[in-house]
Amino acid sequence: MADEPHSGERPLWPYIVGALVLGLLVVGFFFIRDLIAFGRPAPEFPSLADQPDPALHGTVAYFAMVGDPKTQIESGCVRVIAASGAESKEVLCFSDAGSDTGPQLAFLPDGRLEVTMFSWPVDQPLVVAWQKIVDVRTGAVEEVPAGQLPAAPSAQGATVTPAGEQIIARTGGNEAELALVSADGAARTLWSAQVSPEYSIRAIWAPNWEWVLAYDGRLLVATVDDPAVIRVLVAEPAGLGGWGSTEPSMATYAVTEVDLVGTG
């Protein structure tokens, strides 16, 4: 005769069912949370276009797309704008030559702007296609000879001051943060928010170390006061070709501490 279960023993199936239900609830919670997060709009900040701030000094260069639905040719203009939020100024316009991608922008020590476009041939590494030097003040454009073209993208702006203060931009787990870390390692959050999973942000110091230029699909100016103030400088910068503004080492924006255009 088969052994019968002791009357004091409890069947296992309620525990198994309970564990499955709990697991489904946990999965459902995270699924719903992420589904809601995907629809979350980008964080809102005041606009320097609406209210310029003359206390901010420096100049930002960026690339703005110009759409032409008839030709389907990507084109646009390099523009410069005062960090204070005055109107932008067009300094160089061009079209995509087919396989070109960029531009990478970098200010030279004398205040002129280096504009570099790259080619990305199939199954080959990125190469410099052309480079021009633009005098932002006068509008003069200098073509860099082929033999003097750089071999690789130039370094992006600094994230650490000479005094050792580091600006950190990070995203993950539907959260984004800008933080200031002092030389002794003490960290202070400048800004944080719940964001969508596809949101990302990165940041560099302005060369005068008085404010930070951040990129999240927009160009943002962030002061490091306590409390910090973040404002939108340019709502829709863009780039041509494969990497556009998505590759941090080849950003389609640049900043200098020099006031090269009218301030707000």
The C-alpha atoms of residue 146 and residue 91 are separated, in whole angstroms, by 22
- Per-residue pLDDT at 241: 66
| β-sheet bridge partners, residue 101 | 118
pLDDT exceeds 50 at position 245: no
What single string gives the DSSP state of each residue in 108-147?
Answer: -TTS-EEEEEEE--TTS--EEEEEEEE-TTT--EEEPPGG
Q: Exposed, middle or buried, 239 (CB in 10 Å: 0-12/13-18/19+)?
A: buried
Q: Classify 90 as helix, strand or coil.
A: strand
Task: Check residues 91 and 19 and name the one with the higher pLDDT.
Answer: 91
How large is the average pLDDT for residues 123-152? 88
C-alpha pair distances (Å), 180 with each of 160, 185, 248: 10, 9, 19
pLDDT digits (tens, 9 = 90+) for 48-75: 999 999 999 999 999 988 765 455 566 7
- Per-residue pLDDT at 53: 95
pLDDT digits (tens, 9 = 90+) for 201-242: 999 999 999 999 999 989 999 999 889 999 999 998 877 765
